[in-house]
């Protein structure tokens, strides 16, 4: 694996959009698009491992996705269990540490068990951290963080005057991870969709017209190359 150049991102976040539309365009059930989308996840993992990206966070199932047809939701949960069960050994072999963020307690028990098994089995890996956002909503995340902080204040363990950005970041689901440097969204939509609202404050964004199942390794490598040519100002004025 090549070392990561300084001008490439440590952390890439992706909104994987377009699975259902990809399937419907072909006259197939929407779940077929989700099945095909799993191959695109592998393409991204291969690209990140090749260049040395340290963190990859994928928006897999939002808290709003429960509104989808029951058969689609059940199928998604089944695919998730299958994916994790089939990929644990491969993740261990490739040094991938698996993580998940969101209100995981709201997922089916069998999915929770598979998630915890994958996290435990890969906990010592250090090559790449793959994080799936599941039953995730950024507003929920911020509410949960503020509740945890408020509890500490009520118990007298925290002075309200000591609350700052660092404390809030440390109270989010992503505590211990660097904020994403680059956000990619497929399907040509220009929305963040309640994803990592706090963490994406200064991220660069790339919108790709392809639907997620058509996203390949080279697409990610091209996005990384484009990122290299940008000047990140963080509110300042650069020469």
| Residues 119 and 89 sit within 8 Å (Cβ to Cβ) | no
Active-site residue (options: 17, 179, 181, 219): 17
Q: Is 17 a catalytic residue?
A: yes
Report pTM: 0.93
Q: Is 151 a catalytic residue?
A: no
Structure tokens at 12: 């890439």
Structure tokens at 116: 């915890």
Please enumerate in sequence order all residues whose Cβ is within 8 A of that of 125, keeping only pairs 6 or more positions apart, or say none: 91, 92, 95, 96, 97
User: pLDDT in tens for each of the 239 residues of the chain?
Assistant: 344 455 899 999 999 999 999 999 999 999 999 999 999 999 999 999 999 999 999 999 999 999 999 999 999 999 999 999 999 999 999 999 999 999 999 999 999 999 999 999 999 999 999 999 999 999 999 999 999 999 999 999 999 999 999 999 999 999 999 999 999 999 999 999 999 999 999 999 999 999 999 999 999 999 999 999 887 766 655 54
**CATH code that applies to domain 11-138+180-227:** 3.40.1180.10
Active-site residue (options: 46, 65, 125, 194): 65
Q: Give the number of C-alpha atoms closer than 13 A to the C-alpha of residue 40, restricted to the C-beta side.
A: 24
Q: Give the number of C-alpha atoms closer than 13 A to the C-alpha of residue 228, restricted to the C-beta side.
A: 12
Domain ranges for the chain, please list them.
11-138+180-227
């Amino acid at each position: 694996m090549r070392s990561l150049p300084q001008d490439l991102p440590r952390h890439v976040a992706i909104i994987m959009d377009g699975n259902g539309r990809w399937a419907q365009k072909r006259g197939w059930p929407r779940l077929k698009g989700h099945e095909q989308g799993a191959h695109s996840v592998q393409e991204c993992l291969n690209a990140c491992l090749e260049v040395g990206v340290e963190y990859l966070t994928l928006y897999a199932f939002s808290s709003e996705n429960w509104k989808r047809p029951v058969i689609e939701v059940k199928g998604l949960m089944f695919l998730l269990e299958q994916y994790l069960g089939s990929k644990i050994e491969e993740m261990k072999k490739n040094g991938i540490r698996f993580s998940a963020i969101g209100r995981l307690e709201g997922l089916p028990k069998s999915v929770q068990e598979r998630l915890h098994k994958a996290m435990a089995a890969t906990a010592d890996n250090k090559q790449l951290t793959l994080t799936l956002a599941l039953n995730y909503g950024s507003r929920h995340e911020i509410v949960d963080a503020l509740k945890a902080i408020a509890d500490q204040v009520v118990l007298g363990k925290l002075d309200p005057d000591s609350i700052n950005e660092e404390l809030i970041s440390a109270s989010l689901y992503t505590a211990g991870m660097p904020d994403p440097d680059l956000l990619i969204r497929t399907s040509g939509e220009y929305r963040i969709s309640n994803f990592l609202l706090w963490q994406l404050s200064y991220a660069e964004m790339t919108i790709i017209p392809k639907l997620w199942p058509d996203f390949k390794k080279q697409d990610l490598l091209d996005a990384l190359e484009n990122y290299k040519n940008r000047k990140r100002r963080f509110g300042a004025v650069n020469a």
